[in-house]
Amino acid sequence: MDIQNIGIVGAGQMGNGIAHVFSLAGYDVLLNDISQDALNQAIVTISHNLERQVSRGKIEQSEMDAALSRISTTLKLEDLGVSDLVIEAATEREDVKNAIFERLLPHLKPETILTSNTSSISITRLASRTDRPEKFMGFHFMNPVPVMKLVELIRGIATDEPTYHALLKVVESLGKTAASAEDFPAFIVNRILMPMINEAVYTLYEGVGSVKSIDESMKLGANHPMGPLELADFIGLDTCLAIMNVLHDGLADTKYRPCPLLTKYVEAGWLGRKTQRGFYDYRGETPVPTR
Q: How far, rounded to the nearest angstrom, does the alpha carbon of residue 7 sit from its chain's CA centroid?
A: 15
253 in a known ligand binding site = no
Peptide bond into 144 cis (omega under 30): yes
Please check if 158 is assigned to a binding site.
no
Q: Is 15 known as a binding-site position?
A: yes
- Whether residue 11 is annotated as binding a ligand: the answer is yes
Q: Is 218 flagged in the annotation as binding? A: no
CB 180 within 8 A of CB 174: no
Does residue 140 have an active-site annotation? Answer: yes
Q: Residue 120, annotated ligand binder?
A: no
- 221 in a known ligand binding site: no
Does 143 show up as a binding residue in the annotation? yes
Q: Which of 119, 120, 122, 198 is catalytic?
A: 119
111 is in an annotated binding site: no
At residue 121, the 3 state secondary structure works out as coil
Give the CA angle between residues 246, 247, 252 to the nearest 5°: 110
Query: Binding site annotation covers 198?
Result: no
Ligand-binding annotation for 207, yes or no, is no
Q: Which long-range contacts link 63-68 to residues 24+ away (Cβ below 8 Å)?
A: 63/24, 67/20, 67/23, 67/24, 68/23, 68/43
Find out whether 156 and 183 touch, Cβ atoms under 8 Å: yes
Is 152 considered catalytic here?
yes
Beta carbons of 69 and 80 less than 8 angstroms apart = no
Decide if 119 is catalytic. yes
Q: Annotated catalytic residue: which of 20, 23, 83, 140?
A: 140
Catalytic one of 23, 152, 198, 230:
152
Catalytic residue from among 16, 49, 122, 190: 190
Q: Which residues are within 8 A (CB) of 155 and not within 5 positions of it... i.e. 6 or more apart?
A: 123, 137, 138, 164, 180, 182, 183
Which one, of 12, 1, 21, lies nearest residue 171 by Cα?
Answer: 21
Q: Is 14 assigned a ligand-binding role in the annotation?
A: yes
Binding annotation for NAD(+): 10-15, 33, 92, 97, 119, 143, 274
Binding annotation: 10-15, 33, 92, 97, 119, 143, 274
Catalytic residues: 119, 140, 152, 190
